[in-house]
Chain A
Amino acid sequence: MAASMTREPVLDRSLGWFSVGLGMAELLAPKAMGRMIGVGEQSTVLRMCGVREIVSGVGLLSGRAPATFAMSRVVGDVMDLALLGASLRSPDSNPSRVAATATAVAGVTALDLYASKVELQSSMAEAQQDVPVHASLMINSPPDQVYAFWRKLENLPRFMSHLESVAEVAQQRSEWTARLPGGVQLRWQSEIVEDQPGRLMSWRTVAGSEINHVGSVRFEPGPGGQGTQVKVEIYYGMPGGPAAAKAAQLVAMAPESLVTEDLRRLKQLIETGEIATTQGQPAGKRSMIGRMFGKEES
């Protein structure tokens, strides 16, 4: 990736070395450090902070994903401020030293925030405007059969998990409704651009849709004429205006893995006639974390 004009490597590097130095001190001499900043005997907490500082510092110095590591410093600063506040409740803390330390941390926080904002802006400027999605899967069935299953658009919600409905409203034109996690509904109309039976289909969304994309699906004979290699390519356009948030949510859901999971279900439906699941099977008492994941259990 080309270096951007707005990057400030000097600030990154200074903050990076500061992090590493502070981290080493916290890790290796937590007791002395605790006395110096006035929090008293907090060796374990300070050692943990030390490890975090070193990770942020080495990250910043490496020059990779600077926006992420700069932001990690901001998060660390907020943690430090919270810990300092909490330390006041401890009997061996020294309130005036804690106050001085907090002032110093707040100053560093301002620098960190500045650095991370600069990084974020520069990475936004480098971001691509279109989000491409590619996915491909082998299906043990001849191309014309896989094509025929897909071409019957009402079949699509059977394996595309976020799709609520697809209805053909006119020649080559269809109306789509999807529901994203959190209940957000997306609607769009799509028109078929190319349709070659047994080989490929391509489509694009029509003006006025809540999400813009162009896409194609190819049905290529597998090696040696065995089965079908299904290849999906979609390009999502990032719109401005009120639709931007919805589109961003869709993209944040990692559309590539969504499409891959959809293709997997398509393969299961075509090859076995059903979709493998464990939903509805018995289990013993789940832990709290287990119950949270249980909703997603497939």
Chain B
Amino acid sequence: MRAVCWQGVHKVGIEEVPDARVINPRDAVIKVRKAAICGSDLHLYDGYVPGMMRGDILGHEFMGEVVETGSGVPNLSRGDRVVVPFPISCGNCFFCEQEMYSLCENSNPNARLAEKFWGHSPCGIFGYSHLLGGYAGGQAEYVRVPFADVGPMKVPDAMSDEQALFLGDILPTGYMAAENCNIREGDTVAVWGCGPVGLFAIMSAKLLGASRVIAIDRFPERLSLAHRAGAEILNYEEMDTLETLREWTGGRGPDACIDAVGMEAHMHGVQHAYDKVKQALRLETERPGVVREAIQACRNGGTVSVPGVYGGLADKIPLGAVVNKALTIKSGQTHVQRYMKPLMARIENGEIDPTMIITHRIGIDDVPDAYQMFRDKEDDCIKVVVNMAS
């Protein structure tokens, strides 16, 4: 079969690899219909996530058709159209029982490596480094899905592939980011980054009752989508973020701040240069400009929600502000399985249209170029969907 493989920093290629197959009883093999490139794949592309090996198959956003099931997957049969959550979760452990699926204790075969980095390991994730299990990803013609009796959800006939695709990651990720803000009627939520996760966080914050959502970015096409999703927009190239947020909230600051940017934040001036150099020298793994700003901007007693991906160590986090302003910080890989059903219902009844963020539809051969285009935000690129059947 053909698959998108990581071949080194800034090198992604299509390779012919052996077919995916059932290995464990609770596995299924899915023939991928649609896959997507995620903003977090760009951290792999740029080489900032440790534990990647040449030849790793990428991709953790995908949906498709079941072609084979192991003996432990009674709920799926050949031909079922399913969307697959990016966290691999057993459904049996302490965390899965509490619906904290991304913290599954049993799905990362390399948990010992992750424990060295973080103290404890999260779940295994498709195509996202050997630290998170080294599982082959879904930017391929076929993909093996472990614990297929727990993760994949059947897509109703009336729902298109594209409508269902984002239920596997970015829609639940944006939703959980907003849910983590504990939004109450009248709240103001500021969202840094109007990429796919930021846009879904904006829509979700509105659905959860936020009175105002302020969207921060610098790309006009992204800001205009944010505006369509109901946000007031703040272009940080034209306005000072902290000053503007203070002014727009009468000095109090937003009730909740969402960092939908993560480890490769673009900032201005000395701070950006400082982090860029330290990251290049591997003295820190992140450029945490956004999380710094979010902490600084957030109102006293407010919440900072971090769906953006961070991998290791960050410098100069204003912990003093966290303490003295009594902030709550919430984060985590998304417990996707918890949100798929309710969000599917919201798509079905028209409350959310996830397809509005798609800007590019391509075939597998165009994927390597698309990584570069998406990374450099060329051609107003916001979301790339790969049609694997083409």
Contacts and interface: CB of A to CB of B under 8 A. Distances in A.
The answer to whether A and B assemble together is yes
Looking at A272, A290, A298, the one whose CB has the most chain B CB atoms below 10 A away is A272
B21 A283 contact: no
Contact of B55 (A140, A273, A280, A283): A283
Select the residue from B19, B24, B106 with max chain A CB neighbours within 10 A.
B106
B149 to A, nearest CB: 10
Interface in B104-132: 105-112, 124, 130
Interface string A268-298: 1001111111111111111100100100011
Contacts of B56: 283-284
A136 interface: no
Interface stretch (B88-96, B161-169, B267-275): B88-96
A261 interface: yes
Contacts of B7: 284
Contact of A271 (B1, B5, B21, B90): B90
A276 B140 CA distance: 21
B256 interface: no
Contacts of A277: 23-24, 109
B20 A293 contact: no
Interface string B288-305: 000000000000000000
Contact of A264 (B21, B94, B111, B134): B111
Interface string B9-53: 000010101111101111000000000000000000000000001
Interface residues of A, number: 31
A247 B18 CA distance: 41
A264 B140 CA distance: 30
A227 interface: yes
B94 A138 contact: yes
Contacts of A272: 26, 90-93, 106, 147
A273 B19 CA distance: 25
Interface residues of B, number: 46
Contacts of A286: 53-55
Contacts of B92: 140, 271-272
B206 interface: no
A111 to B, nearest CB: 37
Contacts of B25: 273-274
B247 interface: no
Given A285-B55, A286-B55, A298 B109 contact: yes
A271 B24 contact: no
B112 A282 contact: no
B146 interface: yes
B53 A290 contact: yes
B133 interface: yes
A209 interface: no
A140 B26 contact: no
B18 A278 contact: no
B136 interface: yes
A218 interface: no
B20 A282 contact: yes
A284 B54 contact: yes
B109 A280 contact: no
B23 A283 contact: no
A276 B53 CA distance: 19
Contacts of B54: 284-287, 290
Interface string A26-38: 0000000000000
A267 interface: yes
A140 B97 contact: yes
A284 B106 contact: no
A260 interface: yes
A4 interface: no
Interface string A249-265: 00000000100110010
B3 interface: yes
A35 B124 CA distance: 56
Interface of B: 1, 3, 5-7, 13, 15, 17-21, 23-26, 53-57, 72, 90-94, 97, 105-112, 124, 130, 133-136, 140, 144, 146-147
**Considering the complex of A and B, which 4 residue pairs feature the smallest CB-CB distances, nearest first?**
A284-B5, A284-B55, A284-B15, A282-B17
Given A275-B24, A277-B23, A285-B15, 18 more contacts: A140-B94, A257-B112, A267-B106, A272-B106, A272-B147, A273-B72, A276-B108, A276-B109, A277-B24, A277-B109, A282-B57, A284-B6, A284-B17, A284-B55, A290-B55, A293-B53, A297-B134, A298-B110
12 contacts: A268-B90, A268-B106, A272-B92, A274-B26, A277-B23, A278-B135, A282-B57, A283-B5, A284-B6, A284-B54, A286-B54, A290-B54
